[in-house]
Amino acid sequence: MGTKILQVKISDTLYDRFHGSVTEPGGLWRSKDKKETAQSAFQSAVEVALKEFLDSRDKKRTAR
């Protein structure tokens, strides 16, 4: 499986909220793996957010 680099523009406010939430040492996102880097946590959180978005769209389509 390959990878792609995703470059997007978002507001500073949204970025700060998301970044702070997922990279906080000992926070909810990083608490399972104490040695996880902030960068790794951020990347995995973005992947989960994209997957959740796509899954929710698929559920709406199949509910019709």
Closest CA to 29 of 47, 37, 41: 41
Measured distance CA(37)–CA(22) in Å, rounded: 11
Specify the pTM.
Answer: 0.74
pLDDT band at 59 (very low <50, low <70, confident <90, very high): confident
Q: Which residue has the higher pLDDT, 11 or 62?
A: 11
Locate all alpha helices (DSSP H) within the chain, ordered by sequence.
12-23, 38-63
Count of C-beta atoms within a 10 Å radius of residue 24:
14
DSSP 8-state code for residue 33: -
Domain residue limits, the chain: 12-63
pLDDT in tens, 8-29: 999 999 999 988 888 887 777 7
For residues 41 and 48, the answer to whether their CB atoms sit within 8 Å is no
